[in-house]
Amino acid sequence: MSEQELKPIATREEIKILVDSFYDKVKLDSLIGPIFNDTAKVNWDEHLPRLYNFWEDLLLGTNNYNGRPFPPHISLNLKMEHFERWLQLFFITVDENFIGLKAEEAKSRALRIAKNFSVNLGLSKF
Ligand code: HEM
């Protein structure tokens, strides 16, 4: 996408573009794609709407996510390199599609949550 087409994240439409483009990359990634497709056998028709709500709630304050993000990650045997790849793909997706404060916030929230998850899984002290 050329630079003129970069948009702010302002509505659920942009949240959907963010989440869909991110998981399009995740599914094809040789390191973390198989965790979703083979280990967890994710039902994408169920997972994606949950992720729309999660990110819409975080970035736009819609209060429409009431799940618990951490538990599904406990049994996946995740390693630090998985979180690093997840974050790399997420940052690329944000920067390819969006500009502005919410775009920066999306990246900083993702980084903070990834750090929390990795500390809770005993992978990192930070
Ligand atoms: C290596 C990194 C990660 C992997 C492999 C991974 C994988 C998964 C899997 C397999 C699920 C369960 C999906 C299902 O059964 O439908 C899930 C759920 C979820 N993940 Fe991740 N994840 C990772 C990192 C993250 C990060 C960093 C975040 C947040 C910034 C996140 C947010 C979520 C949320 C919100 C859910 C849904 C929880 C619920 O309400 O049930 N994940 N993830």
pLDDT, position 1: 55
What's the topology of domain 7-120?
Globin-like (1.10.490)
The helix or strand, by DSSP H or E, that contains position 121, with its residue range, turns out to be none
Residue 108: pLDDT band with limits 50, 70, 90: very high
Q: Please, which residues bridge with residue 98 across strands?
A: 7
DSSP 7: B
State the Cα–Cα distance between residues 90 and 111, nearest whole angstrom.
10
Nearest CA-CA partner of 20 in 57, 45, 37: 45
Answer whether residue 4 shows pLDDT above 70: no
Ligand 1 geometric centre to CA of 4 (Å): 32
Mutate to test the pocket of ligand 1, among 23, 53, 73, 77 (most ligand atoms within 8 A of CB): 73
pTM: 0.96
> Nearest 5°: phi and psi at 10?
-125, -25
H helix runs in 35-100, sequence order: 44-60, 80-97
Answer whether residue 125 shows pLDDT above 80: no
Among protein residues, the one with the nearest Cα to ligand 1's atom 20 is: 69
- Could you read off the pLDDT of 55-83 as tens digits, one per residue? 999 999 999 999 999 999 999 999 999 99
- Could you read off the pLDDT of 11-31 as tens digits, one per residue? 999 999 999 999 999 999 999
